[in-house]
Amino acid sequence: MKIKRLVLMFGMLSAALIIIVPFASNGQLKGMNKPFLQKTEERIPSTQKRLMVIDDYIQIRSVRDPQLSPKGDLIAYTVTVPYLKKEKKETRIWVAPFDGKSKTIPYTSKGHSSSQPRWDPTGRYLAFMSARGDGETQVYTLFRKGGEAMQLTDVRQGVENFVWSPDGSKMALVIKDPSPEDIAAEKAEKEGKKYVKPKVPEPHVIDRLQFKLDYEGYLDRRRTHIYVLDIKSRKLLQVTSGDYDDFQPTWSPDGRFIAFVSNRTDAPDTNYNQDIWVVASDSPDKGKNLIQVTTNPGEDGSPAWSPDGKWITHYSKTDVDAIVFATEHLAVSSSTGEQTKILTEKLGRRISEPCFSNDGQSIYFIVEDEGKRHLARIPASGGNIERVIDGKVSVGSFTLGSKKRIGALVSKPNLPGEIFVQEKTSELRKLTTLNDELISELKLATVEKACFKSSDGTEIESFFYKPPSFNPEMKYPTILWIHGGPDAQYEFNFDFLAQLFCANGYFVVMPNPRGSSGYGQDFTLEIFADWGNKDYQDVMAAVDYAIEQKWADPDRLGVGGWSYGGILTNYVITKTDRFEGAVSGASLALFACNYGHDQYQRWYEKEFGLPWENRELWERLSPYNKVEKIVTPTLIMGGAVDWNVPIINSEQLYMALKRLGRTTKLVVYPDEHHGLEKLANQKDRYERYLAWYDKYVKGIETED
């Protein structure tokens, strides 16, 4: 199991799916380093700017994972192309010259997806991951100058991650233990027999406290461990073991050791105490002798070595009681585990992706700060922080190369993510133009960020999206769209849904209420065990501000959100009748029904206590218990197999509203988890949003 930040539960999943995940029908590339365009039957390009429509979502190309070659002359990245008619998405790896003077080249072929491009230390080969045919995900390599991809690994259960060794002779692999089916199939193969799957699946036999996870299902005792692959001999050596998940491997500069992340406490299912460990890359005993680098009782992760091998930089969440709301500080620890130093405690902002500069003098990292996401650096020993890429932008990821070259994935309010590059002190330069042609055709909303005071005087920020051709003499029907998380933030990036609402004549309010990240841990903790109170005040203050500015029509208001955005929507409509229409997506209603049914018992126990011991709080926080106060027409939506925020919440909320005679509708997407994956369902969701708001906020008779 590849561990992710659990805050993704209610939060970034919704933001990412709305902002990032595209869907499409057939697409073709017209020219190198040019945008992908649909065939004419899908969309006819116009020379005049026009309003955005839902089908434009299928035009947006998702660019990810920039990786500079060792010499810094090339940069590899992935481009995802969705095909609506075929109901699939395909990701290919492309390579562009850093100087942008020659052609961009597709390195992987059509017909199957490839991801995680990584250059070998010489720059002669590019490795990547792909699942081809009916097989599991394996590691492949490509010669830089061309040719067919060569399959490097042949692991029956597949490979979850890989990292080149410093000399390129080995790889560290993350592999999950084989399933009983894998073991039976391998045994049959050795005996020269054909393996036949049982007609009736084996029952799930569970003995773990953490026994469910969205997208994975019921959990067993199979764990992920670190292996070392000798590329020449193809021999695999398992270097970690035990009833723990080991992940995020990274090699020491001399290739003798591998740092990794693992929760190796006595009861890892009860806490978030993952630490950084070091194992010998030739460990003969499957990692029985490890060096524990961090001893922080909170969460540590994303390790990266210094060039001299003496230090490991990482993030560290030091406030155990703050659980998922705790700030990820930038830290450095001695690789022998003798010392740890927090470098950004005064900054008080969430950081990610720390890594040393090539000379070891600085540490680069991404910092989340008041609706922005910047690339920053700090002296390796601590000191003043410099914003390397700043302004009204959102930096998604970055890569460092020789000659002080930087590649970064950057998004802006009027630009979906593209690759930008920078050399030494030069200006940031846009390298890819995958979405330029489409964006140049569209009339986009104007985006402003403003600060105002909530009802108790707390300063709150919100993004305000003004419709194209905004007329200050008009008051617009307005949608309050609430982000997930709760500890996430709206920021200066391209938000398709907000743009779509604006293109349909709505003014859009997207606040960062208390509970949001980007404003410090104290701000985030304001809603601790108090959901739907101060954050409710803040989102309502954002609406009031839009009304005071004479942007929003107070008689035509809508509210909605997905995940925690849906949860806070439930609080809003139980507390006020000011909204004419609401959308509650993948939301929570009756808290107690989730304990033991979803994946968050560790979170709930720390924040709310055990439901049979602290039932009063569990019931007080449940918007379901005030359902009779809801009069707003409410569209309720969710995935049928969502174990993040299970559909039972939506079903119970719908049943209560229906029983009370309220205007409501329940939409359940079959075989969908917390974030909708199927392209047709994503399109359907947008169509239903617009139809519902048009009918109940604008008063237009539509089929909803």
Asked, for residue 260, whether it belongs to a domain, the answer is no
User: What is the rounded average pLDDT of the residues 137-156?
Assistant: 90
* Exposed/middle/buried for residue 631 (C-beta within 10 Å: 0-12, 13-18, 19+): middle
> What pLDDT digit, counting tens, does each position of 673-690 carry?
999 999 999 999 999 999
Rounded to an integer, what distance in angstroms lies between the CA atom of residue 701 and that of residue 704? 9
* Exposed/middle/buried for residue 514 (C-beta within 10 Å: 0-12, 13-18, 19+): buried
User: What is the rounded average pLDDT of the residues 344-360?
Assistant: 96
CB 401 within 8 A of CB 407: yes
State both tokens at 668: 């359940």
Residue 27 has pLDDT above 70, yes or no: no
Please tell me whether residue 133 adopts helix, strand or coil conformation. Answer: coil
Asked, for residue 636, whether it belongs to a domain, the answer is yes
What phi, psi does 40 have (nearest 5°)?
A: -60, -25
Q: What is the pLDDT of residue 576?
A: 98
Q: How many CA atoms lie within 13 A of 569 on its CB side?
A: 36
Sign of CA dihedral 671, 674, 677, 678: positive
What is the share, in percent, of the chain residues with pLDDT greater than 70? 93
What phi, psi does 658 have (nearest 5°)?
A: -65, -40
Asked, for residue 630, whether it belongs to a domain, the answer is yes
> What pLDDT digit, counting tens, does each position of 563-622 carry?
999 999 999 999 999 999 999 999 999 999 999 999 999 999 999 999 999 999 999 999
Q: What is the pLDDT of residue 685?
A: 97
For every residue of 40-68, DSSP letters joined together read TTT----SS-EE--GGGGGG--EEEEEEE
- For the chain, the domain total comes to 1
Strand partners, 372: 369
Residue 6 has pLDDT above 80, yes or no: no
User: What is the rounded average pLDDT of the residues 57-79?
Assistant: 94
Asked, for residue 623, whether it belongs to a domain, the answer is yes
Residue 475 has pLDDT above 70, yes or no: yes
Strand partners, 549: none
Asked, for residue 628, whether it belongs to a domain, the answer is yes
Asked, for residue 475, whether it belongs to a domain, the answer is yes
Residue 450 has pLDDT above 90, yes or no: yes
CB 569 within 8 A of CB 560: yes
Asked, for residue 1, whether it belongs to a domain, the answer is no
Residues spanned by the domain of 649 = 444-696
Cα–Cα distances (Å) from 674 to 14, 424, 510, 588, in that order, read: 8, 42, 21, 12
Q: What is the pLDDT of residue 704?
A: 55
Asked, for residue 558, whether it belongs to a domain, the answer is yes
Q: What is the 3-state secondary structure (H, E, C) of 4-19?
A: CCHHHHECHHHHHHHH
Lowest mean pLDDT among 37-51, 74-88, 98-112, 161-175: 37-51
> What pLDDT digit, counting tens, does each position of 147-181 carry?
789 999 999 999 999 999 999 999 999 999 998 88
> What pLDDT digit, counting tens, does each position of 377-390 carry?
999 999 999 999 99
CATH code of the domain in which 540 resides:
3.40.50.1820
Residue 38 has pLDDT above 80, yes or no: no
CB 34 within 8 A of CB 418: no
> What pLDDT digit, counting tens, does each position of 236-281 carry?
999 999 999 999 999 999 999 999 999 999 999 999 999 999 999 9
pLDDT-derived band at 101 (thresholds 50, 70, 90) equals confident
Q: What is the pLDDT of residue 23?
A: 32
Residue 338 has pLDDT above 60, yes or no: yes
User: What is the rounded average pLDDT of the residues 408-435?
Assistant: 93
Taking all residues of the chain, what is their mean pLDDT, rounded to a whole number?
91
State both tokens at 655: 């049943």
Residue 474 has pLDDT above 50, yes or no: yes
Q: What is the pLDDT of residue 14?
A: 36
CB 447 within 8 A of CB 502: no
Helices (H) and strands (E) in the chain, counts: 11, 42
User: What is the rounded average pLDDT of the residues 453-459?
Assistant: 97
pLDDT-derived band at 44 (thresholds 50, 70, 90) equals very low
Residue 68 has pLDDT above 70, yes or no: yes
pLDDT-derived band at 142 (thresholds 50, 70, 90) equals very high
Residue 9 has pLDDT above 70, yes or no: no
Q: What is the pLDDT of residue 47?
A: 57
Decide which of 186 and 699 is more confident.
699
Rounded to an integer, what distance in angstroms lies between the CA atom of residue 449 and that of residue 441? 25
